Structure 1
Amino acid sequence: MACALPVLLAALLTGCQQATSGSAGQDRRPTPTAPQPVGYGAVFLGTGECSSFGTTSFTEVPCSSERAAARVIARHDGSPDGGPPCPANTDFVLHISAQRPASGEDGDAVIPQGYACMRNLEPPHPGDPGGGGGPRTVVGDCVYGAGHGQVRETACDGTGRRKPEYKVVRAVRTRDRCPPTTALYVELGGTDPVGCARRM
């Protein structure tokens, strides 16, 4: 049985990058936030489960359903700011609000605050390298100058709202390992946190 999830507000965590003096840090773009009624699975939007899309709600549905639009590829409790990062191929992130017991009941939250890393069942996949989105910037992604020393992701094929200006061609541990053609350093995180970007 599916459970409808009204979207409370736009939250954070789709891939953007900021650059200052040739270095970059992460910025956040809105993604949906969903409260969690108890329903379809043992864990609401657990890893491997699917959701439908809607303009005002997300519904957990069987992945075999014709309404299924995206699959959970990772699910974590807590806030994404302090939790594990989503996989590199994540298309978008759903922030899930905690549901508290009804008035007069004892106990902790019925469902804790968390976030689900989502992958569209069909293209487009903005989380793929060059796709222009996702919560992380990876090798193969393109960015453009957004003003005030910031850069943001855009599709490498030019289909995004903004034309790509730089492409991340390598991930390394330190800036001195970037090739001489590097025009911008982008913070990627992980074991190789420096992205070497060349001008397009």
Structure 2
Amino acid sequence: MRVRTRWVAPATLAAVGAALLTGCQSAPGGAAEERGRASGETAKVTPEAVRPSGYGAEFLGVDECSSFGRTSFTEASCAGERAAARVIARHDGTARDGPRCPATTDFVLHISEQHPSSDEDGDGVVPRGYACMRHLQPPHPGDPGGGGGPRTIVGDCVYDLGDGRVRETACDGGAERKPEFKVTKAVDDRSDCPASTALYVRLGGASPVGCARPV
């Protein structure tokens, strides 16, 4: 049986997680090729309010922690019971234009520009930025095979949605949808993928092509 290969590019769909891959066109040789934004360029965890609380010199700086709420994320002492996630990288500007988050980021927290009564340097402004977050406790959707996170990485699994679309899911089969392909290798070019590759996933970064095989 001939294995049909396809090219797909993931884009983040929802809070803390699911990656969606969209866009399709015919490729030479009859293979289906999908194009889109690389995973992790944007994130969907956008609280209605982010309130500074003075735990560090910078609002939600690296190694600081946040608590979770229905409509807001606040700083919390990492040793306290309210702490839920830790900042593993922090950048000014937007996630679309700035550096990529680390591979095992669980979710990206967008920080809108604020003008509170007090802030980290006393100028009355918390600048626009984004924080790459990691849960303090499992599960970690950003881990390889975890079924979520803002980036698709080696070890992640996806399933076919039909009409040229796939979505990330947990490799252990514990999610509602079972995995159909697994990214086994990241390479510079599709020609570097092994013969068992059935799906080419655009990962971005130094090795932008993900080689995925059926599971």
Q: CA deviation at 1:12?
A: 7.2
The Cα shift of 1:146 comes to 2.2
Q: How does 1:49-60 map to 2 (within 5 A)?
A: 49-60=64-75
Q: Which range moved further: 173-182 or 92-101? A: 92-101
CA-CA distance at 1:52 after TM superposition: 1.2
Segment of structure 1 superposing worse, 163-172 or 34-43: 34-43
1:18 equivalenced with 2:32 (yes/no): no
Match of 2:214 in 1: 199
Looking at secondary structure, tell me which structure has more strand per residue: 1
Q: Which residue of structure 1 aligns with residue 46 of structure 2?
A: 32
Deviation at residue 42 of structure 1 after TM alignment: 1.7
Matched residue, 1:187: 202
Partner of residue 113 from structure 1, selected from 117, 128, 148: 128
Query: 1:7 — aligned with what?
Result: none
Q: CA deviation at 1:66?
A: 1.3
TM-score (norm 2): 0.78
Counterpart of 2:166 (choices 136, 151, 157) is 151
Count matched residues.
186
Structure 1: 5+ residue stretches without partners: 1-9, 103-107
Runs of 4+ in 1 over 2 A off after TM superposition: 10-15, 19-30, 32-39
| TM-superposition CA deviations, 1:144-185 (whole Å, max 9, x none) | 112331211100011122111100000000000000000000
Whether the aligned pair in 2 keeps the contact of 1:17 and 1:137 (CA below 8 Å) is no
Share of identical aligned residues, percent?
61
Q: Match of 2:9?
A: none
CA–CA separation in structure 1 for the residues paired with 2:14 and 2:61: 19
Partners of 1:74 and 1:99 in 2: CA distance:
20
Spell out the pairing of 1:84-95 with structure 2 (5 A cutoff).
84-95=99-110
For residues 181 and 138 of structure 1, the distance between their equivalents in structure 2, rounded to whole angstroms, comes to 18
Q: Which amino acid aligns with 1:169?
A: T
CA displacement at 1:51 relative to structure 2: 0.8
Per-residue deviation, 1:193: 0.3
Contact 1:51 1:60 in 2 (8 A): yes
Unaligned runs of 5+ in 2: 1-12, 25-31, 118-122
Secondary structure of 2:110's match? strand
Q: Distance in 1 between matches of 2:16 and 2:205?
A: 17
Instruction: Give the CA deviation at 1:55.
Output: 2.1
In the alignment, residue 46 of structure 2 is paired with which amino acid? P
Structure 1 residue 75 displacement after superposition: 0.7
1:167 and 2:166 are equivalent in the alignment: no
Residue type of the alignment partner of 1:75: R
RMSD: 2.4
Q: Distance in 1 between matches of 2:113 and 2:44?
A: 19
